[in-house]
Amino acid sequence: MTIHKEGYKPIIIVLIVLCCIAAIINTIFPQQTYIHYFLYLCGLITFFFVLRFFRDPPRNTIINENNIISSADGKIVVIEEVEEAEYLKDKRIQVSVFMSPLDVHVNWYPISGIVKYKKHHNGHFHFANKPKSSYENERTTLVIEGKNRIELLMRQIAGIAARRIICTAKTNTNITQGDKLGIIKFGSRVDLFLPVTAKIKVKLNQQVIGGETIIASFE
């Protein structure tokens, strides 16, 4: 299992903390009991889930300039027409993917093009599956200009447990559909604001795969 580079530090910290807890328990209560074994098991399970959270699996992206692919693993929680007020300032179709703590949290570029805009917003840490998280939570916004100068806005959103958004995108640089753009730590959401001419290919509550599932198409 490949681990994302952002996971090395928290994984090491968790391992050290668990080892320290085990050492303290064995110092105070050296006689091994079923309680000890139960705590060891809990520690192993905790370490396994932290390790699993930062997994970075390979994805088979089929690059197609007519398709918009999912930027994240998770469940579709929003498909609706909205007014995008931060940058585009026009009507858009919002498609949102909610990532549970069990999902892969790496993010991928939905289209190829040029990064025209990037801005990080400080904010709250509401549950990421709530509508207000899109404009009230800690978030990073990207605007990518793709084929035929079509602009797509993408928003990485922190959740109630997610406290750090990693976004490696840089403005005025060329990016390729399916390349990794960052990761959101511990429960989060990604919003895509698509042109109203895009044909949506997903449904509410559908599970999608980042870097692979087609969210919408211009065909």
Contact 87, 117 (CB under 8 A): yes
188 catalytic? Reply is yes
- Band (pLDDT 50/70/90 cuts) for residue 214 is very high
Structure tokens given for 102: 């069990």
Q: Is 141 a residue whose pLDDT tops 90? A: yes
**Annotated catalytic residue, options 100, 134, 188, 217:** 188
Segment 184-213 mean pLDDT:
92
The Cα–Cα gap between 111 and 201 comes to: 15
Q: Dump pLDDT digits (tens) for 47-101.
A: 988 888 888 888 999 999 999 999 999 999 999 999 999 999 999 999 999 988 8
CA angle 95, 96, 99 (to 5 degrees): 150
Answer yes or no: pTM beyond 0.85: no
How far is residue 20's CA from residue 126's CA, in Å, rounded to a whole number?
32
The structure tokens listed for 207 are: 């599970």
Length of the chain: 219
User: CA 63, 129, 184, 157 torsion: positive or negative?
Assistant: positive
Q: Per-residue pLDDT averaged across 39-50, rounded?
A: 90
Closest by alpha carbon to 113, among 157, 171, 167? 171
Residue 128 has pLDDT above 80, yes or no: no
Q: CB-based contacts of 210: which residues, under 8 Å, 6+ apart?
A: 59, 69, 70, 71, 72, 73, 74, 97, 104, 106, 107, 108
Architecture of domain 67-217: Distorted Sandwich (2.70)
Average pLDDT over residues 121-146: 73
pLDDT surpassing 80 at residue 189: yes
Backbone φ and ψ for 111, nearest 5 degrees, come out as: -145, 165
For the chain, the domains span: 5-53, 67-217
